[in-house]
Amino acid sequence: MIDIQPEDQVVFDRLKSTGRVTHSLRRLMTAQWNTCGVCDHIAFPGRPLFAGYGKDDEPLYTRACCADRLIELATPVYPHGTLQLAVPDQTPLWRYMDLAKFVALLDHKGLYFPRADTLEDRFEGAIGLASREAEWDNHYISRFRDVVEAGGPYPLVPDLTREQIEEDARRLLSETKAAARRSRDKLVSCWHANSGESEALWRLYCPPSIAGIAIQSSAAALWDATASEPTAIVGKVHYIDFRTSFASREQAIFCKRASLQHEREVRAVLENDTEEPASGRIIACDLERLIDSVVLSPFAPVWLADTVSSLIRAYGFSLPVRRSELLDAPFY
């Protein structure tokens, strides 16, 4: 429930939303989630946070108590029911790939973001199990009936018939489900959060028969790599047991099945064209700022080290290449 208090209304009366959400503001909004970026206090349930800009276009994300610093209001935010996506800037990220994909990365001088529905996981963007769809529908149709019958804060059509209430509630359900399905059109770049290498992911993405590498980066570098994209969000994936829970309908693109939680995924997500969604896009970035090091697969043939180093030089980059830590010798 939205709960606008007098001090919130003062902000709304002083500033009108411009809708200008830059990459730096979205990054701040993601990091702070439901917490004021000035006083660090958590927002009250139903109360808005105010995203905008202060002096010298400084991004700000505040509660009403600190909103006097705002010169421009981009948008109010009601975080209730949304996922905590924030990933600390220093979080190490890994991306495992075969040699062909690494060559494409160098050639394109940027990251490729495929559309979510082209990925192997058929649950990308899913709300829940098909066997529980009726349960989800019934929950929301009941909520929408209450909303329609109440007429909202400014009722325009009093005394609706039961048939009209039902028709409007089902229309809202249909629109909600259509909006949820569009999350599968979003563009994603998937990474693994870990302080070190994962043997399981080496075997999954670069098995012994594949000449593979991993690039090591950080959450901060991934945010920086998407700086040209105002809609970009870098966030952690939440793992859901779909037998007992549903994904967030607003952020289903950041929800995956619990059976995949070993992936410890962090993903960068971009909006896609709503009329003609692209199957993927290349986002140009400074690879030398994005990539901390290039790590050779522990299963790689001996020739791979020289080949990778030569490729990096041929494309005009200077990137450190190192052997896998999994090859370190034990003692007994």
Q: What DSSP letter does each residue of 53-99 carry, written as one string?
A: E-GGG-EEEE-GGGGGG-SEEEEEE--TT-------TT-EEEEEEEH
Q: Confirm whether 85 is domain-assigned.
A: no
68 and 173 belong to one structural domain: no
Residues 96, 162: one domain?
A: no
Task: State which of 183, 200, 221 marks the end of a domain.
Answer: 183
**Does residue 83 form part of some domain?**
no
Cβ neighbours of 309 (radius 10 Å)? 15
pLDDT for residue 228 = 95
pLDDT at 161: 83
Question: How many Å apart are CA 72 and CA 52, to the nearest integer?
Answer: 5
Q: Is there a single domain that holds both residue 285 and residue 223?
A: yes
- Do 230 and 162 reside in the same domain of the chain? no
Asked if residue 219 and residue 161 are part of one domain, the reply reads no
In a domain, 21, yes or no: yes
Residues 157 and 103 in one domain: no
Does residue 38 fall inside a structural domain?
Answer: yes
Residue whose C-alpha is closest to residue 83's, from 326, 269, 288: 269
Q: How far is it, in rounded angstroms, from Cα 94 to Cα 318?
A: 19
Residue 267, domain member (yes or no): yes
3-state secondary structure of 220: helix
Report the C-alpha gap between 267 and 179 in whole angstroms.
21
Q: Which two tokens stand for residue 67?
A: 């909103």
Same domain, 192 and 179: no
Residue 318 within a domain: yes
Residue 137 lies in a domain: yes
And the tokens for 108? 């394109």
Q: Of the candidates 86, 220, 40, which has an alpha carbon nearest to the alpha carbon of residue 49?
A: 40
Inter-axis angle of helices 304-314 and 99-108, nearest 10: 10
The pLDDT value given to residue 154: 45
Please state, in angstroms and rounded to a whole number, the distance separating the CA atoms of residues 111 and 157.
50
The pLDDT score that the predictor gives to residue 153 is: 46
The answer to whether the CB of 56 falls within 8 A of the CB of 110 is no
Q: Are residues 15 and 66 in the same domain?
A: yes
pTM attached to this predicted model: 0.91
Whether 136 and 178 share a structural domain: yes
Alpha helices in the chain (DSSP H): 6-14, 23-32, 99-108, 133-150, 162-181, 199-205, 219-225, 287-290, 304-314
The pLDDT of residue 248:
87
Cα 240 to Cα 243: distance, rounded to the nearest angstrom: 9
**Chosen domain end from 183, 198, 222:** 183
Identify whether residues 191 and 150 lie together within a single domain.
no
Q: Are residues 43 and 162 in the same domain?
A: no
Q: Is 87 part of a structural domain of the chain?
A: no
Distances (CA, A) of 281 to 13, 188, 223, 287: 40, 9, 17, 16
**What is the domain extent for residue 46?**
6-77
How many domains is the chain partitioned into structurally? 3
Q: Which residues contact 100 (CB under 8 A, 6 or more apart)?
A: none
Q: How far apart are the first and last CA of the chain?
A: 62
Same domain membership, residue 196 and residue 168? no
Q: Which residues of the chain fall below pLDDT 70?
A: 81, 151-159
One-letter amino acid identity for 44? F
Record the tokens describing residue 71, joined without a space.
């010169």
Question: Which residue, of 183, 217, 251, is where some domain finishes?
Answer: 183
Enclosing H/E stretch for 215: strand 212-218
